Amino acid sequence: MRGGITPANAALAAWAVLLAPGSIEAQAPDRSTPPELGPPPHFDVPLIQHFQLSNGLEVMLMEMHEVPLMQVNLLLEAGSIADPDDRKGLASMVAAMLDEGAGDRDALEIADEIDYLGADLGMSAGDHTTVVQLHTPLAQLDPALEIIADIVLRPTFPGEELERQRIERLTELLQWRDEPDAIASVAFSETLYGDDHPYGVPEIGTAQGLQSITPEDLGAYHRSRFVPGDATLIVVGDVTREAIAPQLETAFGGWRGVAALETAIPLVEQVEARRIYLVDKPGAEQSEIRIGRIGVPRLTEDYYPIIVMNTILGGSFTSRLNQNLREDKGYSYGAGSAFDFRPGPGPFIAGAAVQTDVTAEALTEFMKELRGILEVVPQAELERARNYLALGFPQEFQTVAGTAEMLGELVLYDLPDETFDRHIERIQAVTVEDVQRVARQYLDPEKVAIIVVGDRSLIDAPVRALNLGPVEDLTIEQVLGPPPVIAPGEEPAPAAP
């Protein structure tokens, strides 16, 4: 899609400079100031084509003819937000079970055939969607489509594979108890949203929910949620509409089903005061810090000012948080922040893993930067952030897989096709005033939840001495619940190769 200097050409050019007549000293670059970034290049997103199959299934197609590869993603409006209260993890389990048996093939046969074709399959479920991904050489598209159609339309959900998946997931939940970053992530979500909100529960589910899921539950979920009216086929690669439409019709045209009712996103209350939640992890070599509050949905009118503002704060390697905690202080290997955009208000989160003996000092620096971003940012810093986002945007479309993932955002949020065409323009339009306005509107350092997971015996007193707010002591069991019970002799079986 984009031309460029190959590694070989770059090496030759470098040697040519070194071997050229004249002293090296005379050719030494000026390193007293950073080089100026030029204007971002003009980027034209290829045409997005839309059509329907005979059953009403929506198809979104983008032709990319540089290499003979295809990416076919089926995006379903079915995610963990609709999990029943007593079966948390159901959507994720259905996604994981799709290739454990489908049509006339068992899990091993599916894996063998996909490998033989030189293709890749992937299945995942998020809060709002389930995505089945197929990456295949163009020459193998027909047999690969046959397999993905079986997986989507005719999964068998064998009981023995469900038990293997169940044990794997319960084991993973058990392993989280030894992983401070996992503990911090769960504690952060629970603190902001509560365990009765879908965003407050891990997508993998809970031990109680996983133990309750049966093959019948999987089948019932599939019949009600896997329907063409709630799905979009995203196709990217070396093909035309005229060529791909009959192939997709053969694979998916017989799919039937009535669209499910839309699941409402529960309301959530904003954090109203600063409070520290200290989770004891005896012997932890580092402290995991998470700071945040409820953010905004993706469709906020302030999307572009927010991502520019966050790039300055913690969204890039040269952001304020990373430069402070990593480069200047040496407290962490990396610190950052992000707005997790979702259909509902996702979280704003800032965090890092820091050395235990500087936990309190790191919290001080976090608060310093969260307060600092509320003030007017220098014009040069704004321009650097805008150029960083604009120059990096075309990279999202370098591969068929990356392009299909980007198109999925248009589907998930019902965005117009022109969104990508105007992305760089909208980034460059963000002003200093915009950045300060959204920082003050959506970030309030005095109203944040602060999660710290670490060795309480070493960090409790210094953290309390900061007087950032009330400190609530938590145990790992209070965050993750009782350890999952795995029957003696039950161990995860190896996955199909």
**Spatial contact of 352 and 362, defined as CB atoms under 8 Å apart:** yes
Query: Which range, of 227-241, 255-269, 297-311, 392-406, averages the lowest pLDDT?
Result: 255-269
* pLDDT on residue 258: 85
* pLDDT on residue 45: 85
Q: Is 321 exposed, middle or buried (0-12, 13-18, 19+ CB in 10 A)?
A: buried
Neighbours of 312 (CB within 10 A): 26
* pLDDT on residue 3: 38
For 113, the 3-state DSSP assignment is: helix
Kindly report, residue by residue over 375-385, the tens digit of the pLDDT.
999 999 999 99
**Spatial contact of 89 and 209, defined as CB atoms under 8 Å apart:** yes
Domain boundary among 186, 220, 252: 252
**Spatial contact of 445 and 375, defined as CB atoms under 8 Å apart:** no
Is the model's pLDDT at 201 over the cut of 50? yes
C-alpha 58: how far from chain center: 24
* pLDDT on residue 262: 82
Q: Is residue 183 part of a domain?
A: yes
- Mean pLDDT in residue range 87-94: 97
Q: Do 282 and 200 reside in the same domain of the chain?
A: no
Q: Do 213 and 280 reside in the same domain of the chain?
A: no
Is the model's pLDDT at 47 over the cut of 90? yes
Is the model's pLDDT at 25 over the cut of 80? no
* pLDDT on residue 9: 41
For 63, the 3-state DSSP assignment is: strand
Q: Do 142 and 76 reside in the same domain of the chain?
A: yes
Q: Do 213 and 92 reside in the same domain of the chain?
A: yes
Q: Do 328 and 364 reside in the same domain of the chain?
A: yes
The range of the structural domain enclosing residue 345 comes to 275-479
Q: Which residue(s) pair with 52 in the sheet?
A: 58
Is the model's pLDDT at 136 over the cut of 70? yes
CA atoms within a 13 Å half-sphere pointing along the CA-CB vector of 21: 0
Show Cβ contacts of residue 152 under 8 Å, excluding neighbours closer than 6 positions. Answer: 74, 98, 132, 226, 252, 255
Show Cβ contacts of residue 91 under 8 Å, excluding neighbours closer than 6 positions. Answer: 78, 79, 80, 82, 83, 125, 130, 203, 221, 225
Using the structure block, give the residue that is written with the tokens 């163009």.
138
Q: State the Cα–Cα distance between residues 192 and 221, nearest whole angstrom.
A: 28
Kindly report the average pLDDT of the chain as a whole number.
91
**Spatial contact of 158 and 451, defined as CB atoms under 8 Å apart:** no
- Mean pLDDT in residue range 348-369: 98
Q: Is residue 298 part of a domain?
A: yes
* pLDDT on residue 485: 84
The phi and psi torsions of 388 (rounded to 5 degrees) equal: -60, -45
CA atoms within a 13 Å half-sphere pointing along the CA-CB vector of 269: 6
CATH of the domain at 58: 3.30.830.10
Query: Which range, of 163-172, 198-207, 481-490, averages the lowest pLDDT?
Result: 481-490
Q: Is residue 9 part of a domain?
A: no
Domain boundary among 237, 252, 267: 252
**pLDDT > 90 fraction of the chain, expressed in percent and rounded:** 86
- Mean pLDDT in residue range 108-127: 97
Q: Do 293 and 242 reside in the same domain of the chain?
A: no
Is the model's pLDDT at 124 over the cut of 50? yes
Q: Do 202 and 63 reside in the same domain of the chain?
A: yes
Q: Do 125 and 199 reside in the same domain of the chain?
A: yes
Q: Is residue 486 part of a domain?
A: no
- Mean pLDDT in residue range 398-418: 96
Based on its alpha-carbon atoms, the radius of gyration of the chain, rounded to whole angstroms, reads 25
pLDDT tier, 31 (very low <50, low <70, confident <90, very high otherwise) = low
Q: Is residue 208 part of a domain?
A: yes
Q: Is residue 490 part of a domain?
A: no
Using the structure block, give the residue that is written with the tokens 């007549």.
21
Q: Do 191 and 299 reside in the same domain of the chain?
A: no
Q: Do 69 and 174 reside in the same domain of the chain?
A: yes
Q: How many helices (H) and strands (E) does the chain have?
A: 20, 14
Q: Is residue 440 part of a domain?
A: yes
Q: Do 234 and 128 reside in the same domain of the chain?
A: yes
**Count of structural domains within the chain:** 2
Nearest Cα to Cα of residue 395 among 426, 430, 423, 414: 423
* pLDDT on residue 4: 40
Q: Do 230 and 347 reside in the same domain of the chain?
A: no
- Mean pLDDT in residue range 303-319: 97
- Mean pLDDT in residue range 36-56: 83
Q: Is residue 20 part of a domain?
A: no
